[in-house]
Structure 1
Amino acid sequence: MTLSSPLLLAAGLLLTAALAWAAVASARRRTAALAAAGVVVPGARRAQLGTGLTIAGVAVLAIATAGPAAMVPVPRTAGTVVLAIDVSNSMGADDVAPTRLAAAQRAARAFVAAQPDSVDIGVVAFERGALTTARPDADHSVALAAINRLKLTGGTSLRTAIMASLSAITGKPVALGRDDTAPDIGYWPSATIVMFSDGQNQGGDVEPAATAAQRAGVHIHTVGVGTEAGATVKVDGYHLQTSLEKDTLTLIARTTGGAYHPASDAARLDGIADTIDLRLTVSDKPLPLAGALIGLALALFTAGAALTVLRSGRVI
């Protein structure tokens, strides 16, 4: 149990102790005086009980004024989600209308809208390099603004995308060690990466990066944006054929315990938010107890007053 005002509790308990001492002293004097006069008062114990209940009510009320709260475990859908969105030039292909990038942006916005406030969402834009354009935050408008700002540029490095996403999750730079060994970044089971890409990787072996995410407990769900038939894009005056390469995206998802989601058209992209499962976590939430304690105090006051009335016909 926690208290918002421990000083009020201390003051209330001192007052309760003073009242209890005064009640005991008064009862002893009254008993001594009546005994000296040879008078026996029936119901004395009932009167003492009434006084005791009243003092107990004061004690409970003192605790209530201190703002007590119990920490209660509450299950909720929570954690961190990083949306890693491919902004390489191949994402300008129009085999998914109006373009792969525009369709991915629409799906990412739908995903953000589907998440509760308990989920922190960040955005990583990636091509050969990667940039955290929005750090994970409960304010989802920040993520939406970052998604809307995305522009096409460069090639594709899924390896860099994964490491940048892990950096966004941990809040510090994360890099593979020598010989591509996975770094020790702790365990982040409530974190998820959702990667939107056409899978055309040009940035090195992705498996070590996927293994680093797997060891950290981070699931990666991949969304393949494009078609296997592909389309032609114009880059620096050249016309290049580009198509969806799902094998690498499937490998990333399988390695990390996530899932690969094909999205060959806009309609299938719109449903991605409903297919990705976030993990349930249990967190301690403060449950205020003041109201219940005040009710208990009033019950004690009422019981104490009733016993006093039954003994003497008046409230004292």
Structure 2
Amino acid sequence: MLSLSGFTTPWWFLLLLVVAALVAGYVWAQKRARKETLRFSNLAVLDRVAPKRQGWPKHVPAALLAVAMILLTVALSGPTAEQRIPRNRATVMLTVDVSLSMMAKDVEPSRLEAAKVAAKEFADKLTPGINLGLVSFAGTATVMVMPTTDRAGVKQAIDNLSLSEATATGDGINASMSAIDSFGKMVGGPGGAPPARIVLMADGGQTIPRDLNAPRGAYTKAGEAKKAGIPITTISFGTDYGTIDIEGQSQPVEVDDEAMEEIAGLSGGEFHKAASAEQLRRVYDTLGEQIGYEIKHTDASRPWLVLGTLAAIVAAVLSLLLGRRLP
């Protein structure tokens, strides 16, 4: 397939000037030959001795040769094509809010249960080379699984997520960064630690501490993640009409989209909103594509080289068949 998205040695395109000159020379030679023919005094004799090469077919070999030279020039210029390649070296910490607000049933069967299903699908669809870890947070944060390529362990830990009081979003981010740092020191080679990202899924505002800009606050930790080169992709999960029952009283648990978007922005990451289980799955599918694959520019000269060579061969064969000589 002929495709390209850039050239490694574009100066080879200067050869097209030579091709243009050869085409111009060929046209000039044909016009001159025609004039010489018209000056021939005995047209009857000319008709008997000259080869019958009237019409456009005699120009086909020359045209094919010019096309071949153009194709080969493109090949020499080092065309590249974008190719989607699975990542084999990256770290992702899935950081999940397990505060009591996650028991809300505005997303069936509940926010937490829907989140578990989507998170396990996300783990299954990630490319095998990605190291995936899991952190849960409520009043405190817990590293449930260190980054690993073992998806079974991560999915089992997701199944074991349970609810607790309060929401310490900053602690969740901090625990994820610590896990990434520890893992990076263990596996980092000459090229350094693998690239990392935090995927933060929460439904409500931070309650511990109340100030998002406090030392333990989510905004502060998002800024630290930015400095560490760890973008945070945030997923605000739930609706504005969610409620939970606490001691027989209904408590509203609206999602805090503004805070989640700010966390993503401060860390250099992206913000996503999901108000249903299906939307959450779509967000995770998108993240799986972004995280699991990368676009690389690979050599795309082979098709151009093959076609250029074939065109040159056909030009030579036709030249021998039509005129017993090369154009």
Would you say same fold, with TM above 0.5? yes
Quick check: 1:142 aligned with 2:147?
A: no
- Cα deviation for residue 199 of structure 1 reads 2.8
Q: Write the letter of the residue equivalent to 1:192.
A: R
1:138 CA displacement: 0.9
Q: Does 1:194 align with 2:199?
A: yes
Match of 2:75 in 1: none
Aligned residue in 2 for 1:65: none
Q: Which among 138, 147, 150 is matched to residue 127 of structure 1? A: 138
Q: Find 1:213's aligned residue among 201, 222, 225.
A: 225
1:261 aligns with 2:249: no
Q: Aligned partners of 1:197, 1:86: CA distance in 2, in Å?
A: 5
* SS of structure 1 residue aligned to 2:157: helix
Whole-Å separation in 2 of the counterparts to 1:131 and 1:194: 15
Match of 2:19 in 1: none
CA distance in 2, matches of 1:198, 1:281: 30
RMSD (CA atoms): 2.0
Mapped pair 1:223 → 2:228: no
- Please state how far the C-alpha of 1:148 moved relative to its aligned partner: 0.4
Separation (CA, whole Å) in 2 of partners of 1:84 and 1:195? 5
User: C-alpha displacement at 1:280, in angstroms?
Assistant: 6.2
Q: Secondary structure at the match of 1:233?
A: strand
Distance 1:222 1:189 in 2: 21
CA–CA distance in 2 between the matches of 1:163 and 1:189?
Answer: 18
Q: Partner letter of residue 271 of structure 2?
A: Y
Asked if 1 retains the 8 angstrom alpha-carbon contact of 2:91 and 2:194, the reply is: no
Report the equivalent of 1:203: 208
The amino acid across from 1:226 in the alignment is: G
Listed one character per residue, the Cα deviations across residues 28-62 of structure 1 (whole Å, up to 9, x for unaligned) are xxxxxxxxxxxxxxxxxxxxxxxxxxxxxxxxxxx
Q: Secondary structure at the match of 2:291?
A: coil
SS at match of 1:123: strand
1:153 aligned residue (151, 160, 164): 164
Q: Which amino acid aligns with 1:217?
A: G
Report if aligned partners of 1:189, 1:217 keep a CA contact under 8 Å in 2.
no
Paired residues of 1:224 and 1:262 also in contact (CA < 8 A): yes
Supply the distance in 2 between the matched residues of 1:223 and 1:167 (Cα, whole angstroms): 21
CA contact (8 A) 1:227 1:244 kept: yes
Secondary structure (helix, strand or coil) at the match of 1:167 reads helix
Rounded to whole Å, the distance in 1 between the matches of 2:145 and 2:155 is 9
* Residues in 2 aligned to 1:100 and 1:227: alpha-carbon distance in whole angstroms: 10
8 A contact 1:188–1:216 mirrored in 2: no
Alpha-carbon distance between aligned partners in 2 of 1:240 and 1:158, rounded to the nearest angstrom: 20
Deviation at 1:103, TM superposition (A): 1.3
Alignment partner, residue 114 of structure 2: 103
Equivalent residue runs for 1:296-315 within 5 Å: none
Equivalent pair of 1:123/1:143 in contact (CA under 8 Å):
yes
Structure-to-structure mapping, 1:1-316, within 5 angstroms:
76-77=86-87, 78-171=89-182, 190-204=195-209, 205=212, 206-228=218-240, 230-276=241-287, 277-278=290-291
- For 2:91 and 2:246, the matched residues in 1 are separated by 35
After superposing on structure 2, the runs of 4+ consecutive aligned residues of structure 1 that deviate more than 2 Å are: 235-239, 279-282
User: 1: CA distance between counterparts of 2:275 and 2:162?
Assistant: 21
Match of 2:45 in 1: none
Whichever residue aligns with residue 278 of structure 1, its letter is: I
Identity value in percent:
32
Deviation for aligned residue 1:231: 2.1
Find the aligned partners of 2:109 and 2:148 in 1 and give their Cα distance: 29
Gaps in structure 1 of 5+ consecutive residues = 1-74, 173-186, 283-316
Asked if the contact 2:101–2:204 (Cα under 8 Å) also holds between the matched residues in 1, the reply is no
Q: Distance in 1 between matches of 2:247 and 2:94?
A: 28
TM-score (norm 2): 0.56
Distance in 1 between the 2:283 and 2:180 partners? Answer: 21
State the distance in 1 between where 2:127 and 2:293 align: 12
Deviations 1:268-299 (A, max 9, x none): 111122222227689xxxxxxxxxxxxxxxxx
Contact 1:111-1:272 within 8 A present in 2 as well: no
Match of 1:178 in 2: none
